[in-house]
Structure formats: C-alpha cells, structure tokens
Amino acid sequence: MKSKFFLATLLLTPILVVTFSTLYFTMGMSPDGTKNNGVFFKSYFDLNDFKNGEGKQDLIKFEDGKWILSVYVTNMETSKSSIYLSRQLNVALNRDINKLKRVLFYSNKLLETNLNDIKLQYPRIEIIEDKNGVLLSVLQRNSQIDFNIENPIFVIDPYGRAVMYFLPDTDPKLILKDLKVLI
C-alpha cells in the first residue's frame, strides 16, 4: 500500500505543479516587467537590412558570432563618455571579452578626424559610416530618447538584431550585469 501511495505522489506532483502554475499565471499573478536595466527598442529591426553607401554590401557583418556594444556618434563631446564606458565594460567582462566587439556608427563626415583619433586611442574599436543616416533615423523612431543629443550605448545581438539601449544615467554596474546575462 505504501508503494502505491508513493508512486501516485510521484506521478501526480508534476501534474499538480503545472496545473497550479498555469492557474496562477492566468489569474493575472504573472511577473511584472523585466529585470533588464536597459530599455528595449519599441519595435524589432535588423541591421542586416542596412546597406553601405553604395547599397552593395551590409553595413556591418555578423559572421563572427559576437555581440556588439555600439554608440552612434553625432557629437564628439557627448559621445566620449559612452565610448569610454563601452571600453570599460568590455574590459570588465573579463573572460567574456572575446564574445563582444565595440562599434561606432556615424553619418557626419565632419567627425572623421575626431573618430580617427578615437581609433588611435581605442584600437579594438570598429568605426562604420552610415552614409545616408538611415540607421540613426531608425534608432530615433524606436527609442524614447533623442539619439542626436544623448549618444547612448546600444546592444546588437550576434544575428544583427538591435536589442536594447542604456540610458546615459544608468549605473555601469547594472549595464555590466545585463551584458553578463546576455552574453
């Protein structure tokens, strides 16, 4: 008799757990929001859809399977802190440092000399020109802040989908926590 009761308990436990968790969820007691410290973009967009100025090749290649920590530079003074922070975050990732690459996007030709200086200062950074400024307008449409003024850090997954951006006043430790979960 004891073995039958034990067997029934073993068989019914998973069924009860699934049933009660489903009821709990459907009655509106589900988790609220997310635990992310970044802000998700309003709608999905894929960077594989963007082409370079001639329209022949992709703006950026995603063949290496790395996450991308990027900044769209519209003003050198406001973006310097984001560029520096992206480098610090990359270093702080420690063993996961090779799973991430840093990219700067720009569309203003007047910034090229300053960006070349940045390239000398941060040698492992990739600089990509968004000739038509299409990426900037898509970032603007899908975010709550003005990318022309703020120049925040945003994250792109290894498949080319823009995932989230971090508000300029976000604590770097919280950004690092999100990156460790993502990567």
What is the domain-level CATH number for residue 98?
Answer: 3.40.30.10
Residues 48, 10 share a domain: no
Residues 156, 117 share a domain: yes
- Domain housing 10: 1-32
At 168 the pLDDT is: 84
Residues 101, 173 share a domain: yes
Cβ proximity of 147 and 82 under 8 Å? no
Residues 87, 22 share a domain: no
Residues 153, 64 share a domain: yes
- Smallest CA-to-CA distance from 60 within 171, 175, 154, 183 is with 154
Residues 78, 26 share a domain: no
Residues 43, 23 share a domain: no
Residues 173, 96 share a domain: yes
31 by Cβ neighbours in 10 Å (0-12 / 13-18 / 19+) ranks as exposed
State the total domains in the chain.
Answer: 2
pLDDT of 34 higher than 70: no
Q: Using 50, 70 and 90 to split pLDDT, how confident is the model at 53? A: low
Instruction: At 173, list the tokens.
Output: 């430790």
Q: Using 50, 70 and 90 to split pLDDT, how confident is the model at 32? A: low
